[in-house]
A and B are shown apart, each in its own frame.
Chain A
Amino acid sequence: GDSVTQMEGPVTLSEEAFLTINCTYTATGYPSLFWYVQYPGEGLQLLLKATKADDKGSNKGFEATYRKETTSFHLEKGSVQVSDSAVYFCALSDFGNTDKLIFGTGTRLQVFP
């Protein structure tokens, strides 16, 4: 079945460092891909998405490109801030009748001043 694999955390960075969180997927068909973020004590909120191959999603300085050839959707940010500390989830939308979201296990990011 469809699945999402993302790098384990925690990822610990200093402020202004470059961030990459790896995400790869397995899917039949052509899923949409998402990054969600969960700040401490809150629910998940959409960070960015891409709905077809070679699309780049971007928001708040974060970017991810839908790479069909490598089945990847890596999250990047050029300069992280302390306020980016959160858990990041990669997800794909199951193509078919249900359109369920299938999540990775989440990656905790900790940014220190």
Chain B
Amino acid sequence: DVKVTQSSRYLVKRTGEKVFLECVQDMDHENMFWYRQDPGLGLRLIYFSYDVKMKEKGDIPEGYSVSREKKERFSLILESASTNQTSMYLCASRPTTGSHHEQYFGPGTRLTVT
């Protein structure tokens, strides 16, 4: 069975803290993605990665960075958390490029920044 796991389901952090969200997939997929989900806005792409050590900005990369040191792991980093980064964060992975391939999602991390 396909599996994407995220390190935490719920997280509460203070403004200014450095926050790490971890995502691991066990499907040997090349592509991994980080989205944030907000009511009325759907899912918006933050960053994605084609391969180890590769990263590309998505639609809303400001305030975020990512790391992909191993194929199975893709980390999202909030260098200095702010209240407007309170959101649901979803990680996804997909096999190599090809528009017909679906993305497989993790359960999400609900982050609250106070």
Residues of chain A having any CB pair with chain B under 8 Å: 31-32, 34, 36, 41-46, 49, 51, 89, 93-95, 97-101, 103-106
Q: A43-B106, A100-B45, A100-B48 are in contact. Are A49 and B58 (CB under 8 A)?
A: no
Contact B99 A31 (CB under 8 A): yes
Residues B76-90 near A (CB distance < 8 A): 90
In the complex, which of the residues A41, A44, A51, A105 contacts B100, with contact meaning CB atoms closer than 8 Å? A51
Q: With a CB–CB cut-off of 8 A, which chain A residues contact B4?
A: 43
Q: Which of B12-20, B35-43, B66-74 is the interface stretch?
A: B35-43
Contact A99 B41 (CB under 8 A): no
Contact B42 A106 (CB under 8 A): yes
Q: With a CB–CB cut-off of 8 A, which chain A residues contact B40?
A: 105
Interface size bucket, B side?
A: 20 to 34
**Number of A-B contacts defined by CB within 8 Å:** 59
Say yes or no for B114: interface residue by CB 8 A criterion: no
Residues of chain B having any CB pair with chain A under 8 Å: 4, 31, 33, 40-45, 48, 56, 58, 90, 92, 94, 97-108
CA distance A94 to B105 in the complex (A): 18
Q: Which residue of B lies closest to A50 (CB)?
A: B100
Q: With a CB–CB cut-off of 8 A, which chain B residues contact A36?
A: 105
Q: With a CB–CB cut-off of 8 A, which chain B residues contact A43?
A: 4, 90, 105-108
Min Cβ gap B49→A in Å is: 11
Contacts beyond the supplied A46-B102, A94-B99, A103-B42: 13 A-B pairs with Cβ under 8 Å: A41-B107, A42-B108, A43-B4, A43-B105, A45-B105, A46-B103, A46-B104, A93-B99, A97-B97, A99-B97, A99-B98, A99-B99, A100-B33
